Amino acid sequence: MKRRTENEKKPDLILLLVTLLLVTVGTVMIYSSSSILAMERFRDGQFFLKKQLFFLCLGLGVMALATRVSYYKLRKLAWPGIILSVFFLLLIWVPHLGIRAGGAVRWLKLGVFSFQVSEMVKVALILFLAHFLTEKVNHIREFREGMLVPLGIMGTLVGLILLQPDFGTTIIIALITFLMIFLAGGRIVHLAGLAALFLPVALWLLLHKKYRMDRLLVFLDPWKDPRHSGFQIIQSLISFGSGGTFGVGIGDGMQKLFYLPEPHTDFILSVIAEESGFIGVGLILLLYIILIVRGFRISLKAPDLFGNLLAAGLTMMLALEAFINIAGVMGLIPLKGLALPFLSYGGTSLIMSLAAVGILLNISSYES
């Protein structure tokens, strides 16, 4: 692999600029969407803004570090990252360490800090897959030699995350695993067969839990129960409709005033739609498209297979998270409760997303 000093290339400045624009918009809109809620809960209208600024500074530091450290050195963290992921996924069930919120145990409390373990797990799995598939590239078309271990690791992580429960993250993890195996040269017949086996399991998981079925039914007809199960998506659609072309103005939206649930997290795009209108949402979508295109460009131009798979996996993670959130709040798919990368309030999501961008920037500086 060529050294940066030999290539004399700078990281992808377009990707960096797009990322900084997204986090800037996110910070402004988090304050706009959460100030009333923060005042009501904590008597401090800047409560969420202050915490997000702290997470942003930490995330930018992580991104800067990831940009400077050669991505190839990350291969040493492949197995330790998986072991640590499993350990943390088990640790959240220890009393007083796991935090239960909204009927799920997804957060781990360590001293004054807490973080969502599954956010770290996604990055750790992508790193592991890139490393392992590179090692086994000559055997990837053999099921036992090339695919059994990645699928076993994925199954273990998915099983532990489903216990939380977090169905949305398991879908992202499964999709990323299958796509990375395909990019590494895995046989389509193997992947299709596995998909056929997993589909009945996914359907059983959907039908087994009433709240998951309720989400599906709400997606099909939210106005059947507008005051209860359909309330969230209806309020989100009202936000999009109220914004019109240019929006009502930043800070002047009405839906964030206790109509939209948690407007600074899952439904932040709905607030953006109301306050900046079609133009604002269009610009956000354009920024995500540019980010994804640059990410896949970095993957295609990576100097080795490890960099190619790592960049592709990280880009797919950001793309899937953005798509699921955006499509959910627009009523195009059932709501999944996933954060919108760089925009939603949440320390773990922001830090891991910025870390992913930092790795992409590092890979881009070694472009072949």
At residue 330, what are phi and psi to the nearest 5 degrees? -90, -5
In this prediction the pTM is: 0.92
Cα–Cα distance measured from residue 171 to residue 338, given in angstroms and rounded to the nearest whole number? 11
- Selection from 120, 19, 28 nearest residue 345 by Cα: 28
pLDDT number for residue 368: 67
Say whether 333 sits in a helix, a strand or coil.
coil
State the number of CA atoms in the 13 A half-sphere of 271 facing the CB.
31
Cα dihedral sign for 109, 112, 116, 122? negative
What confidence tens digit (pLDDT) does each residue in 333-365 have? 888 778 999 999 988 999 999 999 999 999 999
- Which of 137-141, 169-173, 200-204 bottoms out in mean pLDDT, i.e. has the lowest? 200-204
What confidence tens digit (pLDDT) does each residue in 81-135 have? 999 999 999 999 888 888 877 667 888 887 777 888 999 999 999 999 999 999 9
Cα–Cα distance measured from residue 66 to residue 143, given in angstroms and rounded to the nearest whole number? 33
Highest mean pLDDT (candidates 28-37, 106-115, 140-149): 28-37
Q: Is the pLDDT of residue 25 over 50?
A: yes
Q: Is the pLDDT of residue 53 over 60?
A: yes
State the number of CA atoms in the 13 A half-sphere of 337 facing the CB.
16
